[in-house]
Structure 1
Amino acid sequence: MSTTWFITGTSTGFGRLLTEALLARGDRVAATLRRPEALDDLRAEHGDRLWVASLDVTDREQVHRVVTSAFDDLGRIDVVVNNAGYGVFASVEEASDEQIRQVVDTNLLGSIDVIRAALPRLRAQGDGRILQVSTAGGQTTYPNFSYYHASKWGVEGFCQTLAAEVAPFGIAVTIVEPGATPTSFGSSLATAPTMPEYEHTPAGDVRRALASGAFPLPSDPARIVGAMIDLVDGDATPLRLPLGPDTYADVRAALVARLAEHDAHRDVALSVASDEHLAASA
């Protein structure tokens, strides 16, 4: 039995690869993107198993209209994949106000709006999956990606709360965390004029590594897409799915360091307890 998917950001990268893989195996896909003509070749090959709509996830009214139309036209949607993303590669001081707004509107608010639009229909179905594409940078950080991290840490907190709220309705939420991968995302990062003050800082080091090609891209994008499909086909519904050797290593190191710092302040944390709490705990 085929599965029906709703995917944002399908023109390139993971979105395009996922759409191709799903259609090749006989699934139905509601593919959304800013330029629908980018999928004309797939529409010609797969006919009505590919539903295509123009969508800018920063347009809230359009999000609700397109999500509603997809459910109405296809009858049901089994999996909603929030994949559309925007990245800014610049230090905190260098990014423009417009770039900051765009990354938050796309990655955080856009993802929230897609989910909010889909939830009433998923609840009515009594089941469904939501895959939120995040990144290793949803739990750890790298210089020059502060605003990207702000959006991804935000959407991960949102999805962790969401997962607890919608589990009683048979809806499972998984945050997918790919690491650095050779897709078009890296080449499409927005940049800003650099400040010489940051040349000999960690921000400058990362810039030089990217420019020289020394920044590792250890994961296979097709295998990442395959892991996402396998997840939906299987019974497991993890809150987070780390994908890539860098994701596993970097996120684990970040969590270990955070836990160590957390534990180091145990005595201070407990020292501010109220007298009422201390009396109740005695």
Structure 2
Amino acid sequence: MTNDSITAKRTWLITGVSSGFGRKLAEQLLARGDRVVGTVRKPETVVDLQEQYGDAFRVQLLDVTDVAAVRSSVDRAFGDLGRIDVVVSNAGYGLFGAAEELSDKQIQDIIDTNLTGSIQLIRAALPHLRAQGGGRILQISSYGGQVTFPGSSMYHATKWGIEGFAESVSQEVAPFGIGITIVEPGSARTEFLGASIQIADQLPAYEGNPAHAFRGLLGIDAPGDADKMVAAMIDSVDVVPAPLRLLLGSDAYGTTHQVLQDRLTALEAQKQLASTTDVD
């Protein structure tokens, strides 16, 4: 893996720039002179960026759960700007609660946003990236795409799902010069543990259960510096070939390393049994 020391000015399409990593990405990119097309559900949240950066920052209204709108938004962005170098699939949110506590609507909504919305954004961008001879896709996931915690089952389901999708697609599109990087941040000081989460109605039966341990995370300062994480995401676009995963944060690294090590140990213990099930 080599690092290209030349950082060219680029054009980016980023979903969900009203807050969190999306907002910080837009701020850093615009400050260094790049162009950004940012999607939002509430345009008033980015008026300041529009006023400060003018035509360098273009805003599109988009609900990523609307598949037709996703396709139209992507087509319009490429059509207006001619070339988009990096597509960032960032829109998403967290959902806490035991599986039994979640409503059918909460389950469907988070799948539609975190998983289906991300899948359809990538699918909509691929024909354009192929036509222009390449580009990058950053899929914002979480270290929760490789590890799990109780009380976050549907969040993990969407993140594990999008990681499987992105890893498979990365192999399909590499021959076209398209690189895909799955970004796995740890806990960071953004709005994620504030306005960007939903909490299921809690059942008395789960009081004292590990499923409610998330309560202890709310209101606590996370160890990750969101600005540094975003800078690392931007820098990753200069790395050739594209890193498949970008793990950010000491908590993400430590937990993921332990989980993968334990998983490998469990796998190795099944080697002999696995071989006995082959056809004689």
- The TM-score normalised by the length of structure 2 is 0.94
Is residue 246 of structure 1 aligned with residue 254 of structure 2?
Answer: no
Q: Is the 2:179–2:241 contact (alpha carbons within 8 Å) kept by the matching residues of 1?
A: no
Query: How much does 1:235 deviate?
Result: 3.2
Match of 1:54 in 2: 61
Is residue 119 of structure 1 aligned with residue 126 of structure 2?
Answer: yes
Match of 2:198 in 1: 190
Query: How much does 1:124 deviate?
Result: 0.5
Match of 2:154 in 1: 147
Which blocks of at least 5 consecutive residues in structure 2 are unaligned? 1-7
Is residue 228 of structure 1 aligned with residue 233 of structure 2?
Answer: yes
Q: Highest Rg: 1 or 2?
A: 1
Is residue 170 of structure 1 aligned with residue 204 of structure 2?
Answer: no
Is residue 255 of structure 1 aligned with residue 260 of structure 2?
Answer: yes
Moved over 4 A (4+): none
Q: Read off the aligned partner of 1:30 and give its amino acid letter.
A: V
Query: How much does 1:123 deviate?
Result: 0.2
How far apart are the structure 2 equivalents of 1:207 and 1:55?
Answer: 30
- The two structures, once aligned, show a CA RMSD in angstroms of 1.2
Which whole-Å deviations, capped at 9, do the CAs of 1:232-252 have from their partners, x for residues lacking one?
A: 134351100000011101111
Is residue 31 of structure 1 aligned with residue 38 of structure 2?
Answer: yes
Match of 2:5 in 1: none
Q: Read off the aligned partner of 1:150 and give its amino acid letter.
A: A
Q: Is the 1:9–1:33 contact (alpha carbons within 8 Å) kept by the matching residues of 2?
A: yes
Match of 1:264 in 2: 269
How far apart are the structure 1 equivalents of 2:77 and 2:215?
Answer: 44
How far apart are the structure 1 equivalents of 2:214 and 2:166?
Answer: 31
How far apart are the structure 2 equivalents of 1:35 and 1:66?
Answer: 15
Match of 2:84 in 1: 77
Tell me the secondary structure at the aligned position of residue 101 of structure 2. coil
How far apart are the structure 2 equivalents of 1:60 and 1:111?
Answer: 10
How far apart are the structure 1 equivalents of 2:125 and 2:241?
Answer: 22
Equivalent position to 1:19, from 16, 26, 41: 26
Is residue 7 of structure 1 aligned with residue 5 of structure 2?
Answer: no
How far apart are the structure 1 equivalents of 2:41 and 2:208?
Answer: 38
Query: Sequence identity of aligned pairs in percent?
Result: 53
Query: How much does 1:182 deviate?
Result: 1.6
How far apart are the structure 2 equivalents of 1:257 and 1:17?
Answer: 35
Match of 1:103 in 2: 110
Query: How much does 1:36 deviate?
Result: 1.9
Greater relative contact order, per chain length (Cα 8 Å cut-off, separation 6+) = 2
Q: Is the 1:86–1:102 contact (alpha carbons within 8 Å) kept by the matching residues of 2?
A: no
Q: Read off the aligned partner of 2:156 and give its amino acid letter.
A: H
Match of 2:168 in 1: 161
Which blocks of at least 5 consecutive residues in structure 1 are unaligned? 276-282
Q: Is the 2:187–2:251 contact (alpha carbons within 8 Å) kept by the matching residues of 1?
A: yes
Q: Is the 2:11–2:86 contact (alpha carbons within 8 Å) kept by the matching residues of 1?
A: yes
Tell me the secondary structure at the aligned position of residue 151 of structure 1. helix
Q: How many residues align?
A: 272
Match of 2:207 in 1: 199
- The TM-score normalised by the length of structure 1 is 0.94
Q: Is the 2:114–2:158 contact (alpha carbons within 8 Å) kept by the matching residues of 1?
A: yes
